[in-house]
Amino acid sequence: MKILVVEDEPELGADIAGYLTEYTCEMATTFSEALEKIGMYTYDCILLDLTLPGGDGLRLLDILKQEKRDDGIIIISARNALTDKVTGLTTGADDYIAKPFHLPELAARIYSVIRRKQFSSTNVVDQNEVRIDLLSKKVFVNEKEVALTKKELDLLLYFVGNRNKVISKSALAEHLSGDMADMFDSHAFVYAHIKNLKRKLSEAGYGNYLKNIYGTGYKWEI
């Protein structure tokens, strides 16, 4: 899963990215850089500082909501005034955490936002014979655990969270590698991960829900 950290303090941004190793983290340190990234990519969650060089984070939040984006948004700010909290939450942020904060608490809030938005606030996703425990990061098919790599699990969660939607190969590449996706000449690494994921699920006896939509992408069809 992919996180955008919009934070003008490089050291804090690096600490956050270093702690959130289960996610692909991208960084933006200025208003214009953040605006460029949200214009090009989508994210599972955006950590949004309010005081940025070149503009106000609340303006970015307003832009995201005007575009009816589904990215989860957590404001992280030293501006702990009640008016900022109220404005941020009423504009559309999913949560607000004041600096300084503890990284485990931030990680828990990110998990909560993603779970609520993509998985209806549950810790366990059940789809027929497939069960995904979001807390333990374990996958079971017909009650038997299927050992997946981090990338394979990330793909599975992305497909399940967007079930019945066709996801393009470029969107999958972006999801797996973030803003590094444009550096690859082909989507071979995406095919490899999907092939391995399908093989492991098929060997465990799942219902072949992951479909290849010829010339377009893939869909988890339930």
Q: pLDDT averaged over consecutive 10-residue blocks of the chain (222 residues)?
A: 93 95 92 94 93 93 90 87 82 90 94 88 91 94 95 93 90 76 64 94 96 91 90
Token readout for 161 is 């969270």
Amino acid occupying residue 137: K
Q: Which of 32-70 are b and which e, b meaning 16 or more Cβ less than 10 Å from the residue's Cβ? A: ebbbebbeebebbbbbbbbebeeeebbebbeebeeeeee
Instruction: Compute the residue count for the chain.
Output: 222
pLDDT at 194: 94
pLDDT at 190: 87
pLDDT at 183: 47
pLDDT at 180: 55
Residue that is written with structure tokens 């789809």 in the block = 127
